[in-house]
Structure 1
Amino acid sequence: MSFRTILSVVGMSQGDRDVQVATDLCSEVGAHLSVFLVAMAPPPTGRYETLAPAWLEHRDRCRQELTEKVEQLRNRLASIGLSFDVESIFSDFAGVGYDIGERALYADLIVVGPAACEDEDLKRQIVAGGLFQAGRPLLFCAPGKTATLKPKTVLLAWDSRPQAARAVRDALEIMKAAGSVHVAMVDPASVPRASGDEPGADVAVYLARHGIRVTVDILPSTGRSVAAVLQKHALEIGADLIVMGAYGHSRLREFMFGGTTRAMLDETSFPVLMAH
């Protein structure tokens, strides 16, 4: 997939850093930048607080600040000469994911900047709306390393599941332009319905047919989590980007008990492109 429209979902108080990351990515690939500025209404703390003048005044101030922030962003981006648009939403927390999903239908990629990665509430809403409702790939740009859509080395986390295959298709153009792609498999099972007799061979052949320079790396977990193994290997090979499928188990199960997706979102310092 070529990324012609990149959506950056940003929060009110931390938008500048994330917009800059998205701006740099759009400039790198010549994409249109669509900024979606999200302001979540403060939740009432009491049964009748929604009728209290102080609470209503606070909501009005939030709306005014949102209007001012949109104008500031438009002026800032206009001075860069980048193709862009800026939209905003003032929403109750419960409805934010739906609003993000509606907006994400018209984007090729959603960028989750460093500040959004650190905001658990906003990050959860972006995943719900962008990944599950709109079915768009998400690029998580965690603090610690500069994100790029032109990586030299890509680590593809492969587990022979449909989610991983979707990530491959979404990142195909990125991997075709990369210098090397490492297909990383952690404790793969050599069974016909999973990885076949030679784990990783099928996806390696598929990638090679697209002209991708690919290496298959079989990694033992030795008691470590899959996320820890992948991150260590990404460091060892000098990866610029990790590509992986998201939520092989149910979202509820991973939210309650943890899983590779959640661990990668919470712990990695590498940019991660996820698809579902």
Structure 2
Amino acid sequence: MAYKTILVHVDDAPHAAARILMAAELALQDGAHLIGAAMTGVSRFLYQNEMVDEQDPNLALHLDFLRQRARRALVQFGPHVQALGLRSFEERLLDDEPGAGLSLLARHADLVVLSQADPERQGAPLPDYQAQVLTDAGRPVLLVPHAARTASAIAVNAAGVASAGAPAPGQHVLVAWNASKEAARALHEALPLLARAASVHLAIFDAELRPGVYGDKPGEDVQRWLERHGIHAGIVLRQSARQGLLKRPADIGDALLALASELGSDLLVLGAYGHSRFRETLLGGVTRTVLESMHLPVLMAH
């Protein structure tokens, strides 16, 4: 099992280089085809509903500006991934918003690579496009933190093949496991990465609050399932901080990120929750906390 088609968002943001590097390295590891997609930012539904008059000189000028900006980003994409040694790739430009356009393209890809949500947009009334892709694409999303490296750690020969023993992204993986369908989906979608990881840990918080959900021994059932895939995973049991008079469990997003640092993890696998179109309820509390505070790549599935 491997990712054979990887989609990466291409734009002129300063952190685009880190996300493109991560996508290219994954493509090299799996011999995958990489699609670099740039969006103009104008919804395709405006064109379909004939709400845009491209003959309007002011509007035409603005649309041309948006398309030129997207094209400039794509012009840099090809040389970038070629310099890394990638041979199989293509460039796509869509007249669409990032969330809708990427969600559409993702349906014929195995993985979508995006950057962490822009911290300057936190608290905006509408969701960031990352959240929309998570809920609408039907594919796993790998989110790359803004502070991620921009220099490749993979050696590639003249034929464009990653050298033996080259470090793959996600050497030490932490999986947030709560036995939900979202967590199960994320874990399944992460199998190509887990199969070549040096270490995998399953983090279970507050197992005593849900007796019977995790098996006779918390995590044992999913641990055995992974072993049948040739993946050995350790189990880390933790209890979240209790808060309030009723001592209810606190949001474990920060605890997950702290555990990732403690274990030296370089990838977190997490199920994404939520369905509303409004940012305040689009994603669950743990998901929001991780998206806003992440310091390592996070693979999510909804």
Q: TM-score, normalised by structure 2?
A: 0.75
Runs of 4+ in 1 over 6 A off after TM superposition: none
Residue 156 (structure 2) aligns with: none
CA distance in 2, matches of 1:69, 1:146: 19
| Structure 2 equivalent of residue 6 of structure 1 | 6
Change (3 A) 1:175 1:264: same
Question: Corresponding residue for 2:92?
Answer: 87
Cα displacement (A) at 1:52? 7.3
1:104 aligned partner: 106
Matched residue of 1:40: which SS? coil
Q: Would you say the 8 A contact 1:187–1:220 is kept in 2?
A: yes
More helix as a share of residues: 1
User: Once the 2 structures are TM-superposed, how far is the Cα of residue 155 of structure 1 from its aligned partner?
Assistant: 0.6
The correspondence of residues 1-276 of structure 1 with structure 2, limited to 5 A, is 1-14=1-14, 15-41=16-42, 53-78=57-82, 81-82=85-86, 83-91=88-96, 93=97, 96-113=98-115, 120=121, 124-129=128-133, 131-146=134-149, 149-188=168-207, 189-192=209-212, 194-223=213-242, 224-247=250-273, 249-251=274-276, 255-256=280-281, 259-276=285-302
Q: Distance in 1 between matches of 2:278 and 2:285?
A: 8
Distance 1:102 1:212, change over 3 A: same
**Uncovered stretches (5+) of structure 1, i.e. residues with no partner:** 43-49
CA RMSD of aligned residues (A): 3.2
- Deviation at residue 103 of structure 1 after TM alignment: 0.7
Which residue of structure 2 lines up, in the alignment, with residue 46 of structure 1?
A: none
Asked if the contact 2:18–2:144 (Cα under 8 Å) also holds between the matched residues in 1, the reply is no
Aligned mates of 2:91, 2:272 — CA distance in 1:
28
**Structure 2 residue ranges without an equivalent (≥5):** 44-53, 151-166, 243-249
Distance in 2 (CA, whole Å) between partners of 1:88 and 1:190 is 47
CA deviation string 1:212-261 (max 9, x = no partner): 222111111123421111111111111111111111x4445873385111
Q: Is the 8 A contact 2:140 2:300 kept in 1?
A: yes
In the TM superposition, what is the alpha-carbon distance from 1:72 to its structure 2 partner?
4.1
Task: State the Cα distance separating 1:13 from its structure 2 match.
Answer: 4.2
Counting matched residue pairs gives 264
Structure-2 change in CA distance of 1:184 and 1:34 (3 Å): same
Q: Secondary structure at the match of 2:217?
A: coil
What letter is aligned with 1:87?
R
Structure 1 position 172, deviation (Å): 1.5
